[in-house]
Amino acid sequence: MRISDKPAARLKELGVELRPSVPLSEKTSLGIGGTTDQLLLRKFETIPEVMRLLADQKIPHRFLGGGTNVLIADGELPYVVLHLPTSQPGMRVEGNAAYVDAAADLGGMVTFCAKRDLGGMEGLIGVPGSVGGALRMNAGAYGTQIGSYVREVELYRASTGKLETLRGDDIRFDYRHTSFAPDDVMLRVKLELPSKPFKEILALIKICNEKRRASQPLNQKSAGCIFKNPPGGSAGRMIDELGLKGHRVGDAMVSDRHANFFVNVANASCADMLRLIDEVRERVRVTYGVELENEVIFWKN
CA angle 277, 104, 31 (to 5 degrees): 30
Determine if 229 is a binding residue for ligand EPU (CB under 6 A): yes
CB of 22 vs ligand EPU, minimal distance in Å: 25
Determine if 288 is a binding residue for ligand EPU (CB under 6 A): no
Exactly one of 99, 142, 198, 288 binds ligand EPU (CB under 6 A); which one? 142
Nearer to ligand EPU among residue 119 and residue 126 (C-beta):
126
Residue nearest ligand EPU by beta-carbon distance: 224
Give the Cα separation of 248 and 278 in Å (integer).
Answer: 12
Q: Applying CB under 6 A, what is the total number of residues that bind ligand EPU? A: 15
CA angle 225, 152, 119 (to 5 degrees): 60
Determine if 287 is a binding residue for ligand EPU (CB under 6 A): no
Determine if 22 is a binding residue for ligand EPU (CB under 6 A): no
Determine if 295 is a binding residue for ligand EPU (CB under 6 A): yes
Nearer to ligand EPU among residue 57 and residue 215 (C-beta):
215
User: Of 9-17, 48-56, 163-171, 236-244, which part binds ligand EPU (CB under 6 A)?
Assistant: 236-244
Exactly one of 179, 195, 215, 287 binds ligand EPU (CB under 6 A); which one? 215
The alpha carbon torsion through 100, 83, 228, 234 (nearest 10 deg) reads -70
Determine if 259 is a binding residue for ligand EPU (CB under 6 A): yes
Exactly one of 62, 151, 228, 283 binds ligand EPU (CB under 6 A); which one? 228
Q: How far is CA 91 from CA 47, 118, 171, in A?
A: 20, 13, 22
Give the Cα separation of 118 and 193 in Å (integer).
Answer: 6
Give the Cα separation of 110 and 222 in Å (integer).
Answer: 22
Determine if 147 is a binding residue for ligand EPU (CB under 6 A): no
User: Of 56-64, 72-80, 221-229, 286-294, which part binds ligand EPU (CB under 6 A)?
Assistant: 221-229
Exactly one of 96, 240, 242, 271 binds ligand EPU (CB under 6 A); which one? 240
Separation of first and last alpha carbons in the chain: 11
β 80-83/61-63 pair status: parallel
Determine if 38 is a binding residue for ligand EPU (CB under 6 A): no
Q: How many helices (H) and strands (E) does the chain have?
A: 7, 19
User: Of 38-46, 106-114, 227-235, 266-274, which part binds ligand EPU (CB under 6 A)?
Assistant: 227-235
Determine if 236 is a binding residue for ligand EPU (CB under 6 A): yes
Give the Cα separation of 268 and 53 in Å (integer).
Answer: 35
Of the candidates 149, 97, 102, the residue with the CA atom closest to the CA atom of residue 121: 149
Exactly one of 114, 225, 263, 277 binds ligand EPU (CB under 6 A); which one? 225
Determine if 141 is a binding residue for ligand EPU (CB under 6 A): yes
| Adjacency order of strands within the sheet including 150-157 | 91-94, 97-101, 185-192, 150-157, 162-167
- Which stretch of DSSP H or E encloses residue 51? helix 47-56
- Interface contacts to ligand EPU, rule CB under 6 A: 141-142, 215, 224-225, 228-229, 234, 236-237, 240, 258-260, 295
